[in-house]
């Protein structure tokens, strides 16, 4: 969608598999036109992974504009998804 001039406005993350140890995540986006001179990046994963990703995003001068956390009731596993922009 970036080639069409769009960036994600919101992200909905979920578990695609309930198998123990599975790391299958699904994501659904809503899109909006990219404002002039905006850079953006999105990330999906376990909180530990996103913590390291967050440091890299801050070094690039990006800040979070959307963040969501999802907990699977059966296993207690948590994933997070976020969108960052300058």
Mean pLDDT of 2-11: 88
Q: Where are the beta strands (DSSP E) in the chain?
A: 6-15, 25-33, 40-45, 63-71, 78-85
In this prediction, residue 25 carries a pLDDT of 79
Predicted TM-score (pTM) of this structure:
0.81
Among residues 77, 85, 84, 83, the alpha carbon closest in space to that of 14 is found at 77
pLDDT digits (tens, 9 = 90+) for 29-65: 999 999 888 999 999 888 898 888 889 999 999 999 9
Domain ranges of the chain: 2-85
- Show the tokens assigned to 20: 């123990």
Q: Which helix (H) or strand (E) holds 52?
A: helix 47-59
């Amino acid at each position: 969608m970036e080639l069409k001039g769009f960036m994600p406005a919101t992200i909905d993350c979920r578990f695609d598999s309930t198998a123990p140890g599975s790391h299958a995540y699904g994501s659904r986006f809503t899109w909006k036109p990219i404002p002039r001179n905006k850079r953006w990046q999105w990330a999906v994963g376990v909180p530990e992974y996103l913590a390291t990703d967050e440091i890299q995003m801050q070094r690039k001068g990006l800040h979070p504009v959307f963040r969501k956390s999802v907990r699977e009731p059966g296993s207690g596993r948590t994933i997070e998804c976020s969108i960052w922009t300058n």
